[in-house]
């Protein structure tokens, strides 16, 4: 059976043109979608890289902060070790217990102390003892011998306090001098000052601490 198309030729061409346009539109839309997927993935990857970079920067900053704290702790530890070494050297230089015991046993009942200080306050650097086998210069490739630093102990002790009467101060000075453990004992000053509702004599005694009390 033979079919006859009675539609006008222009209408047939218009239908074909619309089909081709729809086909091209579908192709273009598909291409756009396929092109947008890699771009979306790239943007997502870029954001992840940025987030990882920011996290790395924060971690680096925290590491540097911890490293700085560790360095400061090391400095503090070395300083504390130095102070302990100085205190140990000073303790072995002077028998503090005997000095305090001497002062306490020499004090009259009418005397009370406010301060005991040394001059200098701590041991100071003295001469250096270079322990070498002889006076010959060391070889260039030989390390230098260790240098021992000598700490000089305090030479003066200052005692501050109050007494009810002047005679009690002189009694205190006489007892310290009579003990024979201090080089010399001298009254540096004595001033009458108001204390509570009465008066007392504020004194300062200076002792030469050269005999090793």
* pLDDT tens digits along 162-177: 999 999 999 999 999 8
Report the number of distinct structural domains present in the chain.
2
User: Are 201 and 161 within one domain?
Assistant: yes
* Contact by Cβ (8 Å): 184, 155: no
Residue 139 lies in a domain: no
Verify that 101 and 203 share a domain, yes or no: yes
pLDDT at 196: 85
In the three-class reduction of DSSP (H, G, I as helix; E, B as strand; rest coil), residue 136 is classed as coil
- Do both 60 and 155 map to the same domain? no
In-domain check, residue 197: yes
Residues 89 and 99 in one domain: no
**For range 3-21, the mean pLDDT:** 71
Domain region containing 67: 10-93
In a domain, 137, yes or no: no
- CA dist 18 and 20 (Å) reads 5
Q: C-alpha distances in angstroms, 120 versus 117, 156, 167? A: 9, 8, 30
Considering the domain architecture, whether residues 112 and 204 belong to the same structural domain is answered as yes
Of 26-30, 72-76, 82-86, 121-125, highest mean pLDDT: 72-76
Considering only residues 160 and 78, tell me which one the structure prediction assigns the higher pLDDT.
Answer: 160
> Same domain for 100 and 203?
yes
Is it the case that residue 52 has pLDDT exceeding 50?
Answer: yes
What torsion do the CA atoms of 8, 13, 18, 20 make, to the nearest 10 degrees?
A: 150
Reported as a single tens digit per residue, the pLDDT across 27-38 is 777 777 777 777
Residue 209 to residue 94: CA distance in whole angstroms: 9
Give the integer Cα–Cα distance in Å for 76 and 82: 10
């Amino acid at each position: 059976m033979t079919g006859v198309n009675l539609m006008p030729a222009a209408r047939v061409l218009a239908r074909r043109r619309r089909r081709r346009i729809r086909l091209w539109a579908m192709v273009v839309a598909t291409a756009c979608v396929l092109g947008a997927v890699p771009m979306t993935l790239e943007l997502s990857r870029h954001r992840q890289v940025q987030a990882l970079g920011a996290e790395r920067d924060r971690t680096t900053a925290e590491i540097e902060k911890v490293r700085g704290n560790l360095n400061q702790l090391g400095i503090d530890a070395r300083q504390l070790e130095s102070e302990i070494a100085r205190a140990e050297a000073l303790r072995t230089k002077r028998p503090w217990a005997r000095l305090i015991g001497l002062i306490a046993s020499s004090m009259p009942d009418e005397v009370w102390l406010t301060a005991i200080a040394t001059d200098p306050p701590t041991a100071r650097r003295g001469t250096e003892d270079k322990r070498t086998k002889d006076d010959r210069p060391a070889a260039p490739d030989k390390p230098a011998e260790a240098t021992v630093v000598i700490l000089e102990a305090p030479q003066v002790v200052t005692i501050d306090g109050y007494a009810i009467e002047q005679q009690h101060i002189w009694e205190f000075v006489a007892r310290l001098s009579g003990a024979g453990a201090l080089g010399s004992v001298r009254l540096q000053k004595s001033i009458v000052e108001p204390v509570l509702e009465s008066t007392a004599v504020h004194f300062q005694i200076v002792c030469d601490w050269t005999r090793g009390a």
